[in-house]
Chains A and B, each alone.
Chain A
Amino acid sequence: MATRAEEFPALLERLRPECEEIIARYEHSRSALLPLIHLFQSHEGYASAEAQRAVADMLALTTAVVESTVSFYTLFFRKPVGKYVLQVCRGLACSINGAEDIMAYFREKLGIGHLETTPDGLFSYEEVECLAACDRATCMQVNLDFVYDLTPQMIDEMLDAMRAGTYSVVPMAQTDKPERTWKVLQDTQVSQGGKSLGAIDQPNPNNGSGVDKDGVIMIDRILAQQPRFEGRTKERLANVEPTITTVLESEDLQ
């Protein structure tokens, strides 16, 4: 069977008329960048490296410019995600109405955390900022369709229906096997023990297809390997229990 990367040229040819129609909507072609990435993501399930390169070609931009723009927006996935992207609202109004319990329930039921995908590739889970549906807290989006007034029972039913393939929301296109996480970290995090850089023609974890032919240096690390600050605080406190001054010095709070 052909891989996604091999099938991409055919997809591109198929979508080209639609792409041209989108570009024609705007007075300046670059404005079409976001809608074009939305279009490719809807067909491939994520914004693949090939798609970003194709968009760069169409708009006469460099790949770096496209990637820089794509990486700014949280709804563009630069790596494959699960068939159902579960985005639970963690905004203030949801939070004071029990979102923390709902999120804990999700994490327990799915066995994964924030920004992670289940090993079977069915679910990706993310805790997102206010979704503008605070009157019906707690709320979430499944592949950008709203679900309101969540209860544990609803979650059970929803997950069962998704596993059985009977859920009413159309699953995300899935052209590549998802990895554990789709979060791409920034270079500042390399200094904290992140993974090494990608380089020309080196396998690069940011590219769904693997090799970074453009030599765009990208940095990545699996989220799970990153000690989040809550962990760090605990570790630190455990290690330096007797001399609290070390904590203060190390953080230089003054």
Chain B
Amino acid sequence: MPVTKVLTAGIGEANLRDIDVYRQRGGYKQLERAFKTMKSADVLEAADKSGLRGRGGAGFPTGRKWSFLPSNDRPRYLVCNSDEAEPGTFKDHMLLEETPHLVLEGILLGAYGIGSHHAYIYIRGEFMRGAEIFNQAIEQARKAGFVGKNLFGTGYDLEVTVHRGAGAYICGEETALLNSLEGKRGEPRLKPPFPAVAGLYGMPTVVNNVETLAYLVPILEKGAEWFASVGTERSKGYKIISISGHVQKPGNYEVPLGTPVRELIEIAGGLRPGRKLMAIQPGGGSSACIFEEHLDLPYDYESLAKAGTMLGSGAMVVMDDTTDFVRAAHNLARFFAHESCGQCTPCREGGDWLETVLHRLVEGHGLQSDIEMLNRVGHQITGINLCPLGDSIEPFLLSVLKRFPEQFEARVIRETVKA
């Protein structure tokens, strides 16, 4: 079985919230080594060489993201994105609550790597307990001398601040997150300028996902080559996959990228007895479905992109033959309509109308023209918004509409009479 434990090592076995337990297991050694023997540029180089790609959804190479920071002496910030709200994703929730020190060490390493003296972690408002746990971790680390002034006697000051959100999916988008962190409405900004040039308070900023930053610790420990030796050509290393839905053992499983989808479902206990696989949403609520014929697809960025979908945040929702796909499509359309910030008309109005029409179908009051309209309208919402939320409404809907048109047609009550 390809399940490996890198970030997930020790979870469920030891109380990793306790800094002493974490240190006994080798915690904060990499931080100390980085501060004492490495330059910032060395950390960046390790991140770059490892081929680590952003684990939050977009999959952008981490080292390259860091290298976009201009080389000036303006203050720069590292922001850890823990606004995990993509439907089906629950890996950051686990990391934050179960192994907060690993996340903190990753944040500290990342901040050192880009030369930042103030790092922020934006935690989703619903994770109230997670924020408490993380605050305790910071206090423990402060006492041990890993956070605060003059770290390890090098004269390097580094502060970490927890910022709790208050319930908005859109704040997972990096510029919306920065606005929310600045105390504003969580509305995405126009890009460019990208955060690397003008981010938090107008200063150069890097926003990285929790899992991305946490992987810096094993990368420094075992070397960039170790990380790069796993996975596929362009998808290096390990990834925590959140598997949920109609599987017998839903949960977070850490595997090398490129593991076949079939194997992932087996790891999660397989389908319930006597059930047939209908669809898999491989990368969170924003991704198109893959089906039975894709079971041997390697689970990595480029293979999924080739199949017309995406890896996203690594959230796999498995659906068997008990699933009502009209309801499922309505569910996600409602989600995006609810979470749209309302700045761009196609997303705000389009999402709302799609929800209305899909609700009509769910209720069995659909019109024949609805199905044709759904096919047509989906594409008109995509690619013309400030942020990718609008683009996320359509993939799931169109993929299941194409695959299971009979489920949608069964909800149509009468033929269209053209006026």
A residues bordering B, Cβ < 8 Å? 25-28, 30-35, 37-38, 59, 68-69, 72-76, 90-93, 95-97, 100, 128-137, 141, 144-146, 229-230, 233-234, 237, 244-245, 247-249, 253-254
**B-side contacts of A137, CB under 8 Å:** 244, 250
**A-side contacts of B168, CB under 8 Å:** 72-74
Q: A222 to B167: give the CA distance in the assembly, Å.
A: 22
Contact A130 B86 (CB under 8 A): yes
Question: Interface size of B by Cβ–Cβ distance < 8 Å?
Answer: 72
Cβ of B142 under 8 Å from chain A: no
Contact B245 A31 (CB under 8 A): no
User: Which of A75, A100, A136 meets B126, CB within 8 Å?
Assistant: A75
Contacts beyond the supplied A134-B317, A253-B373: 17 A-B pairs with Cβ under 8 Å: A30-B182, A68-B185, A69-B184, A75-B126, A90-B331, A92-B88, A92-B281, A92-B335, A93-B244, A132-B126, A134-B250, A134-B315, A135-B90, A141-B126, A229-B356, A233-B365, A249-B419
**B-side contacts of A130, CB under 8 Å:** 85-89, 285, 335
Point out which of A130, A233, A245 has the most chain B C-beta atoms below 10 A from its C-beta.
A130
Cβ of B141 under 8 Å from chain A: no
**B-side contacts of A244, CB under 8 Å:** 367, 414, 416-417
Q: A30 to B360: give the CA distance in the assembly, Å.
A: 43
Cβ of B180 under 8 Å from chain A: yes
**A-side contacts of B252, CB under 8 Å:** 135
Contact A73 B167 (CB under 8 A): yes
**A27 CB to closest chain B CB, in angstroms?**
6
Q: A132 to B315: give the CA distance in the assembly, Å.
A: 10
Binds A, one of B157-165, B211-219, B304-312, B386-394: B157-165
Among residues of B, the one whose C-beta sits closest to the C-beta of A129 is B335
Q: A146 to B124: give the CA distance in the assembly, Å.
A: 14
Q: A136 to B90: give the CA distance in the assembly, Å.
A: 10
**A-side contacts of B370, CB under 8 Å:** 253
User: Which of B75, B90, B125 meets A134, CB within 8 Å?
Assistant: B90
Contact A132 B85 (CB under 8 A): yes
Q: A25 to B360: give the CA distance in the assembly, Å.
A: 49
Contact A92 B128 (CB under 8 A): no
Q: A137 to B90: give the CA distance in the assembly, Å.
A: 11
Cβ of B93 under 8 Å from chain A: yes
Contact B331 A92 (CB under 8 A): yes
- Nearest first, the 9 A-B pairs at minimum CB distance are A33-B183, A75-B167, A73-B166, A134-B244, A74-B167, A30-B183, A144-B128, A135-B250, A72-B185
**B-side contacts of A73, CB under 8 Å:** 125, 165-168, 186
Among residues of A, the one whose C-beta sits closest to the C-beta of B373 is A253
Among residues of A, the one whose C-beta sits closest to the C-beta of B83 is A132
Q: A137 to B359: give the CA distance in the assembly, Å.
A: 23
**A-side contacts of B88, CB under 8 Å:** 91-93, 130, 134
